[in-house]
Amino acid sequence: MPQFSVSASSKSNCCPLWLIWVLLGLSAVHTHAKDVLGVPQQVSLSPDRFSRQLSISWLGGAATTFDLMILRTELNESVFYETLSVNPVSGQHLWNWTSAEPLECTSLSIKVRSRDGHMTSEWSNTQILRGNDLPSNDKCQVYPLDRVVPVGANTTFCCIVEEGKVFDDLFYSGAVMNTTRLSRRTYAGTVVNQGPSSSSGTNVVCYNSLRAKEPCGTVVFVGYPPLLSDFVCETHDLISAVCHWTEARDTMLYGKRRSSYSLNKRDCLQRGQKHKVCTVDHWEGNWTLVAVNFLGQYSLNDSAEILNRVHLVAPTKVSSVVNAWNATVLWQWKYRSYSSLRLVCQVELTCNGTKTNLTVSGVGLQSVVLSDLYPEEDYSVQVRCGAQLNFWKWGNWSEPFTFKTDTYVPEAPDVWIWMNRDNTGRIVWKPLTRRQSHGQITGYEFTLWSAEENVQHTQIFSPGTTAAPINLTQIAAFSSDKIIATIIAKNVKGSSQPASVVVPLRLTEPIALSRAVYTERGFPMTWQSDANATCGHVVEWIDAVCTRDCSVEWIKVAAGQTNVSVVSANFQPGVRYIFSLYSCSSEGRELLQRQQGYVQELVPSSSVLLSTSQQNSDVLLSWGEIPLLNRRGFLLGYNVYNSTGSELKLLVNLPDKGNRSYTVKGLSEGSHKFTVKAYTSAGEDTGATASITLELYADWLILEILTSLGITTLFLVIVSFICYKKRKWVKKAFYPDIPEPKLPGDWSRRQGPLDVKPSSHSIMHIVEKPEWDSSKEALVVIPEEDEDEEGQGMGDEPVDTDEPTSLSYYNQVVDERPIRPRFPDSSDSSASSLDSARTDVTYTGIQTSGSSLVFQLDSQASAEGHQPHADMSVNGGGGGDYRPQMQARAPSDDIALVSPEPFIEAASGGGYKPQSSWHLDSPVEGEESGGRAPSLGSPTSVASTQFLLPDGEEDTEERRQPSSSATTWFTNLLSSTKP
Amino acid sequence: MNGRVQRMSFQQFMELTTTLLPLLLVMAVDSTRTVAASSSNQQCGNSLQQTLKLTRLAQKESVLLIKTYAAQGEMSELFCKVSVNDVPDPNISGLEPSERIASIYTHLQAFMAHFKRVYEQQTDLQLPSSPLLGELTVVSARSRDLAALMNGFYQSLFPNLPMPEPAGGPTMLPPPQNVFQQKVYGCAVLRTYKEFLSNVARELRTLKGKVCRRRMETNTFLLRMT
């Protein structure tokens, strides 16, 4: 409330009055202001639920600024609160508000107040827009319903849960949405950038906590507004219009939501999904096409004169009039208006898959003549036409129409002749193709005739025949020098022109073959122009392997042409072909060239046949030629490899110049493996491998041995010669004179027998064997049992046969000289020594173990006066003495004739001493010396390896002797040579 | 003597004939009618067997249709479980065979109306090339054939009983629905139809042993009464 005061002063009476007036004025203004900012009245709501738009109108007096507040009623949440400037229209203020959520989702409370600057009126009465979440509507609901939205749009969906249920999830196309709560039962979620949906739309499903039971939902269709292209109108009948267009983009909306079309504001019924057609009964010249769907519309325009848009329909009732080489095709038109129209027509003729196009023109065209056809051939024809003037487009093709041309006489066959080397041959001709036969061939007529004599011989062949054999010896019946072979083909329409070839009565001498090279165009062949070749040239080719009745192919070249490239579908890689060029004249053919070549060379299909042979330390490899069939290319040479393990080592490359052998030199002993591979320009074959084991060269070995022996012999001869020349020196050096021992008394005659006492462990019995066969010189083993049984002189001394015995023996001196007393004569001694060198050793080093041996005495012993020597057994006493068993030359009967001089038993336990002298011991001497067994001869006659020593002190030496016997002997030898 | 004996024999023969003739006549007639009853029973069985075969075929086709239906959209397997009020009850009503056969017939008629509605709704949601529409057409046609068979079977069993009209009057179709409701409704119709066909097959097997035998007994009884 404005406050004011009144003053009583006279001087200043006017001032309080002025102040009062001011205050009154202000109060009045304030009161007026309060009257202008009235509360908006008659607030009303007009919702558009489809567009989620809410129109709010009110009466607000003169105010133009208002505060508008929109709240969600249940939760009292503010959705919208803004100050608006709204101009009244007919006194009413109107404001449109678009909700983010569908208006059905929840109730909204709307109130308005006027505003003037900072002054505002009271709020209007709250107006409530009721949602569908009221308790009275207790069912589950999802909004918006069946909405159509463009692709990429954002849509907010809300779910009103069934009364008493708890919200769980809101799904969009199976995916859970993020939701916010709008009211007690309402939850909302927004989907952004929606993708196109399927024809049945995208499901939005709301679940309560009991998920499996009774979900509710809605469907949203997401698509595109229409987009069209290729809109054009044309006429078929020159009266009506047919307009076409294409749906450039699928709207993804179907059923009631699909696009609808109108042409010049007349509805069009479309056919098909993408290409649309609409027909108008009369040509209007200008057309407007409009396409509309829930999301928008699209329009296209077209305009044209009717004669510029003539699209003829397909010809109908096609027929034909057929001959052998041509045919006339006829058709009719659906519309009579075509009869005055100048047309251009395209005829497509198909024969054996090959299409030929023919274009004809004319007014109202209804037929076309097809020429250059082949007899007895199937053809298919289609026709389409267009307006020749202001050509717009070709009309539709007629249905295919087929016809067959008539039969005609066949063409003349292509004939040639092949001659073998034995005056036989074949007239060959190429089978006529379908195009050449002009109908079914019924047969061939073959004629040999002589023009000069007018003699002919005719044969008929079946249709499948392509060759007729000829024999020049039979043709010899024709006396003419010129025989012509003629072939005529026949069919139902008649005979062909005759095809002739002159039969060569003399064999053509082969000429040298040159190399033909295959190129992309075939085998090129060139030749000089020949005026005599009146009927051109012929190139024939055969497989080079063939020698008789070959499958010949040929090509005929017209006269005047000087080259040709030979191509054949029968050419095979790896096959050698021989090409022969003939000139053709009325007199026959003449061979001009011969070439051979491959279409493609391959590696040989087989290997060479490889053999090996040893030549000293070398190996000769030789192999055969690869058969022509298997070469599959021109052989360039051979590669010789040495196979070591899995590797091949190239030894040599041999160019193919006829040489098919190679010698591998300098090989060592052992096994060697060699591989030979032939090669062409395509490469090597698999190779032939042969192994050989080199053995030592025997001749050379023998030569080496002989050489060594010769050298050795020569050396010995030289040594012997030198020794002979220097024999005195040798004698002096190696055999000096032995001085006569100087002994007191006459020791020379007291030289008794050498008492040999064998080791106690070695007992040898010299057994006298009465039945001894003197003719057999053998050592007889006498078992101990025998000894026991005989008991001859066997002492009681035990015979130990277990221990190895030392060698005990006598040396039997062979001396043919009469026994004579030994005198200390150095010459005798020397001679004795020399004699001893010629003394045969009767036995040496015989060692037994518990066996008694029987020794054969050398026959020379008898020469010493002991003859006849009967078998004398020396019964070994206890000492085991033994003597060599003398071999008697005379039978035992002789014993009686000659008083035997028995061997004296060796005294038991008696040994023998080292020979105290080199005098010969003889049995005689033994006898003279008191029945002692004859002693051995001089040591020089002994080839013994050991000296015999008695028991006793000699034992120790005997034990040392094996290790030093050679040294001792050599020492003795040297010492004996000392003067 | 001989003449008397002959007279006596003739009289005995005539008496025997008079006694046996009615019995023979009754036996002959009874035999003929038994054969007729047996033939009629066989015909009943054949008709029932034919109906049962068609029911099984319709059952298989309905299973396939449900699979196709479920494959057309996401989460359809879930909202296919929703119960819908406006769909016919899959259970067969009535106590007497005639009532139960009539119930099957009226159910089939009702389902045909629902199939028509579902087809219309799906035409708006499917492409013309959709297999769902084709299968729907087949199932609907099979329902019509089955109804015709059931009608013929009913007429053959109960020639003097007219087929009763549906108790609830004409088939009640659901009010206009939104697309989601259409989808739920369509699936509910198909699912219920499949269940109904199972019940029909079971019912037909029961009827086979019940109706056809009873018919034979009824015929025999009627014949004996005559």
pLDDT digits (tens, 9 = 90+) for B28-50: 444 444 444 455 667 777 888 88
d(CA B102, CA B105): 5
**Closest partner residue to A198 among B73, B81, B179, by Cβ?**
B73
Segment A433-468, tens digit of pLDDT:
888 999 999 999 999 887 777 777 889 999 999 999
Cα–Cα distances in angstroms (integers) from residue A513 to residues A580, A597, A615, B184, B221, in the given order: 9, 10, 39, 93, 115
A203/B76 Cβ within 8 A: yes
B79/A215 Cβ within 8 A: yes
Distance from CA of A141 to the nearest CA of B (A): 11
- Position A959: which residue type? R
Residue B153's nearest CA partner among B209, B79, B102 is B102
Residue A704: burial class (beta carbons within 10 Å; 0-12, 13-18, 19+): exposed
Q: How many CB pairs under 8 A join A and B?
A: 65
Tracing tokens 């395209």 back to the chain, one arrives at A346
d(CA A664, CA A670): 14
- Name the helix (H) or strand (E) containing A927: helix A923-928
d(CA B197, CA B57): 10
Q: Is the alpha carbon torsion for A774, A775, A777, A780 positive or negative? A: negative
Write down the mean pLDDT value for chain A: 77
With an 8 Å Cβ cutoff, is B178 touching chain A?
yes
Segment A172-218, tens digit of pLDDT:
988 999 999 999 999 999 999 999 999 889 999 998 887 656 778 99
d(CA A130, CA A894): 174
With an 8 Å Cβ cutoff, is B82 touching chain A?
yes
A203/B183 Cβ within 8 A: yes
CB-CB contact of A287 with A263 (8 Å): yes
Largest CA distance in chain B: 110
Q: Using an 8 Å CB-CB cutoff, list chain B residues near A173.
A: 74
Residue A796: burial class (beta carbons within 10 Å; 0-12, 13-18, 19+): exposed
B178/A145 Cβ within 8 A: yes
With an 8 Å Cβ cutoff, is A569 touching chain B?
no
Q: Chain A residue closest to B124 (CA)?
A: A255
Residue in B178, B183, B185 to test binding to A, most A beta-carbons within 10 Å: B178
Encode A612-651: b = buried (16+ Cβ within 10 Å), e = exposed.
beeeeeebebbbeebeeeebbbebbbbbbbbbeeeebeeb
* Residues contacting residue A97 through CB under 8 Å, at least 6 positions apart: A53, A54, A56, A68, A70, A80
B125/A254 Cβ within 8 A: yes
Q: Using an 8 Å CB-CB cutoff, list chain B residues near A254.
A: 124-127
Q: Is 0.80 topped by the overall pTM? A: no
Residue B33's nearest CA partner among B212, B223, B211 is B223
Cα–Cα distances in angstroms (integers) from residue A578 to residues A515, A520, A527, A755, B78, in the given order: 9, 18, 16, 111, 84
Q: How confident is the model at residue A866 (pLDDT cuts 50, 70, 90)?
A: very low
A58-63 LR contacts (CB < 8 Å, sep 24+): A58/A92, A58/A93, A58/A112, A58/A124, A59/A91, A59/A92, A59/A93, A60/A86, A60/A88, A60/A93, A60/A112, A60/A114, A61/A36, A61/A114, A62/A36, A63/A36, A63/A37, A63/A38, A63/A114, A63/A115, A63/A116, A63/A121
In the stretch 181-210 of chain B, residues with CB closer than 8 A to chain A read: 183
Rg (CA), chain B: 28
pLDDT at A16: 58
CB-CB contact of B209 with B45 (8 Å): no
Specify the higher pLDDT residue, B79 or A383. Answer: A383
Can you list the alpha helix ranges (DSSP code H) found in A421-478?
Answer: 434-437, 472-475
Q: Using an 8 Å CB-CB cutoff, list chain B residues near A216.
A: 180
CB-CB contact of A386 with A392 (8 Å): yes
How many CA atoms lie within 13 Å of A970's alpha carbon, on the beta-carbon side? Answer: 3
pLDDT at A787 over 60: no
Q: Using an 8 Å CB-CB cutoff, list chain B residues near A270.
A: none
Distance from CA of A211 to the nearest CA of B (A): 9
Query: Per-residue pLDDT averaged across A609-620, rounded?
Result: 88
Q: Using an 8 Å CB-CB cutoff, list chain A residues near B76.
A: 203
Residue in A149, A171, A219, A252 to test binding to B, most B beta-carbons within 10 Å: A219
CA B78 to chain CA centroid, nearest Å = 33
B180/A255 Cβ within 8 A: no
pLDDT at A41 over 80: yes
Segment B153-209, tens digit of pLDDT:
898 888 888 888 777 677 888 888 899 999 989 999 999 999 999 999 999 988 877
With an 8 Å Cβ cutoff, is B85 touching chain A?
no
**How many percent of chain A have pLDDT more than 70?**
70
d(CA A922, CA A454): 134
With an 8 Å Cβ cutoff, is A223 touching chain B?
no
From A44-58, A599-613, A832-846, the region with the lowest mean pLDDT: A832-846
